[in-house]
């Protein structure tokens, strides 16, 4: 499922954690953004599990995940070179994308589902409210998102029912 496309300049920040996958290598290498220009991202040189610097071939395709507060942002880049920033910090120079894609960072993926449901809010005293006819937005292994006619207090309890459909 494709995510929202966002301008890279609105997402990528100096100091941000970033993960790289290089060409046909299944290993994930962690790093951080040290600096940026309009055309390049300068990232701390990643190390492999044996703590050996990872230096791809010039022009290698890089798949990157920039880590945000609630999600990840993915993009493709090209490895350009390695140098020592300020003569002391080993870094990669990679191409800076114009856009990034918001990417799910979840144990369970959310799936858009539009179903009729009947919900009843449970009061703090345990009373069950009147039925509310509504629809689902999406669901995952941890829950379901519903459209409600008015705001509902966080951590409220609810009883819900899906309408019976034809037997399959």
Compute φ and ψ for 89, nearest 5 degrees: -100, 115
Sequence spans of domains, the chain: 5-103, 111-161
In the block, which residue shows the tokens 């701390």? 44
Question: Looking at residue 52, what is its pLDDT?
Answer: 94
pLDDT, mean of each 10-residue run, the chain (168 residues): 81 95 88 96 95 94 88 93 92 97 68 84 89 83 79 83 62
Looking at the domain covering 5-103, what would its CATH class be?
A: mainly beta
Question: Looking at residue 106, what is its pLDDT?
Answer: 57
Question: Looking at residue 119, what is its pLDDT?
Answer: 87
Question: Looking at residue 1, what is its pLDDT?
Answer: 40
């Amino acid at each position: 499922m494709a995510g929202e496309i966002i301008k890279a300049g609105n997402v990528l920040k100096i100091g941000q954690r970033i993960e790289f996958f290089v060409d046909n290598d299944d290993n994930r290498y962690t790093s951080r953004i040290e600096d940026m220009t309009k055309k390049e991202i300068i990232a701390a040189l990643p190390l492999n599990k044996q703590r050996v610097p990872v230096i791809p071939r010039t022009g290698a395709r890089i798949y990157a995940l920039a880590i945000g507060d609630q999600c990840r942002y993915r993009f493709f880049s090209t490895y350009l070179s390695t140098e020592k920033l300020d003569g002391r910090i080993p870094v990669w120079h990679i191409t800076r994308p114009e856009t990034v894609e918001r990417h799910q960072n979840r144990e369970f993926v959310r799936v858009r589902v539009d179903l009729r449901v009947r919900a009843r809010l449970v009061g703090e005293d345990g009373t069950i409210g009147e039925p509310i006819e509504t629809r689902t937005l999406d669901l995952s292994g941890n829950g379901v998102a519903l459209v409600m006619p008015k705001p509902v207090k966080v951590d409220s309890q609810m009883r819900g029912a899906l309408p019976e459909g034809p037997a399959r």
